[in-house]
Chains A and B, each alone.
Chain A
């Protein structure tokens, strides 16, 4: 039922979802979605609000487990292994599949401790020097190093909104994930900060498999190469971003991108 464009280059799926449905209690929020997430391209999820983009994104690192009423059906694989199988270590999964939230949520700790948090709990660094190196590398990759290198001990919550969001990206990068999920990472930011994040996504592309949920079609067009359009819990259409925006096959996609609803 999902229209998948037939002109796509073959890619290797870092993650792949097969017939995934999600329920909140009795209410079905995601209905039988199948999609492959490659590392080569940035994947964007678009669609009107409430259509289930966040819900589906959160199945990919099992964050739905933290919601007591949520239930997931179907199969999701990371490198060919089912992440919902019994015996799966959720802690390890979330270290491999990082997440950046809609509203920047740095911990009320120093900038340094925010970044060091993941490496510490996962035991990635032996000794202070190694930890320092990870912090520096992560901040550099997130494009924040020059701005904060002289005040690593200041509180992370004292940064500007855009800096906080890049701090959260750096925090996710610090545990060296394979996939990064971003749920409307720019919706709380001004245009300049948004541009910085988009630049950063372009730089991270290729190193990590990136999925970004966005309500802005321009943003999807700017940062992604693959786009999935969601509507009422279903994935309606999937293809190259340029094709989805210029040559959608489905009427609902067409209506959405021409602004007829949502």
Chain B
């Protein structure tokens, strides 16, 4: 609640600074000989307002991070905290309870020890709240004063504001990059911990997957951590079965839409196809589990397969392929459309038919873009979880029979993280190693796709 107040305060002060600076710029304007300033009054106003709000924002962010620590430190210094249990867990529960009552989030305490701490908590909170507000006002005032004193008729507020805006945008893009780096760092950290318990060789090349979250965590059985069946399941479902469906259908629909469909039809079908990409994968999962998987089983029965399972790699892969069609077709569509009309005319003028032109000129010319679309589609498919859980089971199985149950990397990540094992059990940690492998593969695919697209673009500029 207190950061929100600080923010409102900052905005209010910023508005005041904005108005004051604009008024000041107007007086410059009135007093100057020709009635002109180096920058418009609003730029002076924004300059001052930004100098007030931005430093405060930085402070609020920092304060939000350190204030809770300061508060609980001062509570612990209180005599009533002297006989708190030493154990981290219990101690933390009591503190949290006192805190909840003090801030009004909970009506009353259960634990008598917590009751004694409510008052100190309340005191500490209001104490630090006051400090926060005071520092906010001080910073806003210092920033505002600094900026305000720099205002002159010939002050280049416009360029300064431009520069500040640029750094805000830069900051915004850094957030995404830093988050990625942070995620990657934690992934690597946990992966290294896992490989301290199970050797990477066993993990990458072992052919049996069946971590036991109840086993003694200090002495894991490496033969249960072989991830090859998962890699195979992922490849088989996402990169083989799904692509056998998605590549021809996606390509053919792109060719139809770009070369044969009349513009009115195209205006309808193209968005409709792209909507497919927005259907939640759970919905596809239902479809796979309730319709496709039983149908496949019935067909298998009729063909004389004994005892086919209701869950199969084939069901998951087929539905995943349908899900991926828009990724393939939309990239293929874009890159076929990007082939210059002159290419098409050149081929037709040689006496080629439309389909010869497509096969021999347009598709080859658009191939890099098409390949890139396929790569992105694969990386999307191997990251897919829901359909597999619902249609292909969670049982690891190293088999080339599409009618068998199979599982994939992502499914096992979920299973291991939500399993009964404690957080530092190797079974749980294996999820991070799996995630890391998936990350590397997906990154590689995207990287190849992007560089292929880039090279392709250069060809026509």
Contacts and interface: CB of A to CB of B under 8 A. Distances in A.
Contacts of B459: 108, 157
A84 interface: no
A117 B361 CA distance: 10
B101 to A, nearest CB: 73
B364 interface: yes
Nearest to B357: A121
Contact of A95 (B350, B360, B361, B364): B350
Given A108-B365, A109-B364, A157-B459, A118 B342 contact: no
A50 to B, nearest CB: 19
Interface in B293-343: 340, 342-343
B348 interface: yes
Nearest to B340: A105
B353 A91 contact: yes
Contact of B360 (A61, A101, A117): A117
Majority SS of interface residues in chain A?
helix
Contacts of B349: 61, 63, 94, 98-99, 101, 172
B356 interface: yes
Contacts of A122: 351
A168 interface: yes
Contact of A92 (B340, B351, B361): B351
A63 B344 CA distance: 11
Given A105-B345, A105-B346, A175 B365 contact: no
Interface residues of A, number: 27
Contacts of A103: 342
Contact of A105 (B342, B360, B364): B342
B345 A66 contact: yes
Interface in A104-130: 105-109, 117-118, 121-122
A101 to B, nearest CB: 6
A171 B352 CA distance: 13
B351 A118 contact: yes
Contact of A121 (B343, B345, B346, B351): B351
A63 B342 CA distance: 12
A63 B360 CA distance: 19
Majority SS of interface residues in chain B?
helix
A94 B364 contact: no
Nearest to A103: B342
Interface in A135-168: 157, 168
A121 B356 contact: yes
Nearest to A171: B350
Contacts of B342: 101, 103, 105
A105 B356 CA distance: 17
Contacts of A171: 346, 350
A201 to B, nearest CB: 18
A239 to B, nearest CB: 29
A172 B347 CA distance: 10
B350 A172 contact: yes
A168 B351 contact: no
B364 A121 contact: no
B351 A107 contact: no
A91 B352 contact: yes
Contact of B348 (A94, A106, A157): A94
Nearest to A66: B348
Interface in B350-395: 350-353, 356, 360-361, 364-365
Contacts of A91: 351-353
A108 B360 CA distance: 10
Interface string A14-47: 0000000000000000000000000000000000
A181 to B, nearest CB: 9
Contacts of A117: 347, 350, 352, 360
Interface of A: 61, 63, 66, 90-95, 98-99, 101, 103, 105-109, 117-118, 121-122, 157, 168, 171-172, 175
Interface of B: 340, 342-353, 356, 360-361, 364-365, 459
24 contacts: A63-B348, A63-B349, A66-B348, A91-B353, A93-B351, A101-B345, A101-B346, A101-B349, A105-B340, A105-B342, A106-B346, A107-B365, A108-B343, A108-B365, A109-B364, A117-B360, A118-B350, A118-B351, A121-B350, A157-B459, A168-B346, A172-B350, A175-B350, A175-B351
For the complex of A and B, the 4 pairs showing the least CB-CB separation, nearest first, are A94-B351, A105-B342, A95-B351, A99-B349
